[in-house]
Amino acid sequence: MPRAPRSDDGDTLIEVMIALLVISVTTAALMTGLATSIGASATHRNLATLDTVVRSYAETIKADVQLQAAPLYQDCAWITTTNVGGIPTAQYNTKSGGVVTTTPLTFTPPAGYSVQLDFLHYWNSTTYSFNGDSSTTCMSAAGDQSGIQLFQITATSPTRSHESLQFVVRVPT
């Protein structure tokens, strides 16, 4: 049985155009996905760094106030802020026998990041609530303090993302 002769005709213009359209749509979808992945990766890296900064600052404060050989912890402490070398620095203030002691809580965040200590509250075991950070509101009776202080810190990234963290420092034993 003889075979039908093969045609030497190539692909039609319509077939070539459809093939190019399919390749173009596929390439555009892949490029969009890649761009989204790169953007998400940068956002995740920024948030992970921000989380590390805020937690490192919290650990620095806990180490200064509670964990060193001569801890700074005092009932009725309060926080102030001052500029040290042009950088806002929180200070842990205590009062004993009418003498106020001010100790800077130094922490150097990575370039572009900033940290601030928002507040220090102390637990009042008489009212079962946290009181504000003003030294004038501190209770003078010995049983009014439970040895628990609540700090809140906030870190800000170069992209203006914020993360806050609250943590408790207890009286060293």
**Structure tokens belonging to residue 35:** 């761009």
Cα–Cα distance between 129 and 114 in angstroms, integer?
Answer: 30
Helix ranges (DSSP H) in the chain = 13-62
Closest CA to 100 of 132, 78, 67, 71: 78
The model's pTM: 0.73
Backbone angles phi, psi at 81, to 5 degrees: -125, 140
User: Is the per-residue pLDDT at 145 higher than 70?
Assistant: no
Tens digits of residue pLDDT in 38-87: 989 988 999 999 999 999 999 999 988 888 777 888 777 888 888 877 77
Rounded Cα distance between 61 and 44, Å, is 26
The structural domains of the chain, with segments of one domain joined by +, span 32-170
Q: What burial class does residue 54 get, using C-beta atoms within 10 Å of its C-beta: 0-12 exposed, 13-18 middle, 19+ buried?
A: buried
Structural contact between residues 94 and 133, judged by C-beta atoms closer than 8 angstroms: no
Convert the pLDDT of each residue in 108-143 to its tens digit.
899 999 999 988 887 877 778 887 655 445 544 444
d(CA 128, CA 144): 10
